[in-house]
Amino acid sequence: MINVKKTLKLVFLKIENNLTMKKLILLAVICLFSSALFAQLSSPVNFGLHAGLVSTKMDTKMPSVSEVKDKADNGMMLGAFLRINLNKWYLQPELNYVSRKSEVVVSGVSGDVKTKSMDIPMLLGYKLVKLPAFKLRAFAGPVASFNIDDSFSSALKQRFEDEDLKGAVWNAKVGAGVDVWKLTLDVDYEFGLSDVSSEFLKKNKMFNVTLGFKLF
């Protein structure tokens, strides 16, 4: 005689075991995809491209002129960055093409000073908040800036005809940034450590906002 109670118990155990197995498989798949996603987002090295707005104010000193004013004006930058992640710390060398413009007013005459340079920042950063898809960062470091072109508007050419801009200057920057998935947004203040020229143009003061994308 068939034991109905025992048979039903075996059937329910089999169903329960199948459900448990399916749950384990589903959990394993979720863990696998999560691990792959976290590994991608927490890669020890990131490479990306960025672009942004550069607001520059050039400090001008002319002893022979009583009225000299400096005003900030906007330029742009394009570049690439390599981020070497060291847990919460990171190193970030960059290579940026920067076009700067600053307004100078001399004895009521206004004109622009334009420069183009290749900048190499070497930044040390710290992740204040470190999550798989979100990071809040602070950073600082030196910037080597190599002048590749410069010009003065016609209103200033006579005043600055003997002005010879240096081929390379040192700056420094300090700032903060956020990462959301592969997007990066940085805001920093950059200031000159050396004079732009040996005559009238002194140290730059810059405010930079950049938006980037991590290719990997």
State the DSSP string of the chain.
Answer: ---HHHHHHHHHHHHHHHHHHHHHHHHHHHHHHHHHHHHHHT-SEEEEEEEEEEEEEEEE--TT-S-EEEEEEEEEEEEEEEEEEETTEEEEEEEEEEEEEEEEEETTEEEEEEEEEEEEEEEEEEEEEE-SSEEEEEEEEEEEEEEEEEEE-HHHHTTTTT--B-SEEEEEEEEEEEEETTEEEEEEEEEESS-SBSSSEEEEEEEEEEEEEE--
- Give the pLDDT score at 118: 95
Task: State how far the Cα of 39 lies from the Cα of 133, in Å rounded to an integer.
Answer: 11
Backbone φ and ψ of 42, nearest 5°:
-110, 30
- The set of residues, in sequence order, having a beta carbon less than 8 Å from that of 173 and lying 6+ positions away, is 121, 123, 140, 141, 143, 188, 189, 190, 191, 206, 208
Q: Which two tokens stand for residue 30?
A: 């979720």
Greatest Cα pair distance, the chain, in angstroms, is: 119
Q: Which two tokens stand for residue 100?
A: 């700067």
- pLDDT (tens, 9 = 90+) of the chain, 216 residues, equals 455 555 555 555 555 555 555 555 566 556 545 544 554 555 699 999 999 999 998 777 665 555 667 777 899 999 999 999 998 999 999 999 999 988 877 766 777 788 899 999 999 999 999 998 999 999 999 999 999 988 777 666 666 666 677 788 999 999 999 999 999 999 999 999 988 876 667 788 999 999 999 998
Q: Which two tokens stand for residue 190?
A: 């950059």
Q: Which amino acid is at 207?
A: F
Its pTM surpasses 0.85: no
CA distances in angstroms from 141 to 38, 89, 110, listed in the order given? 29, 13, 33
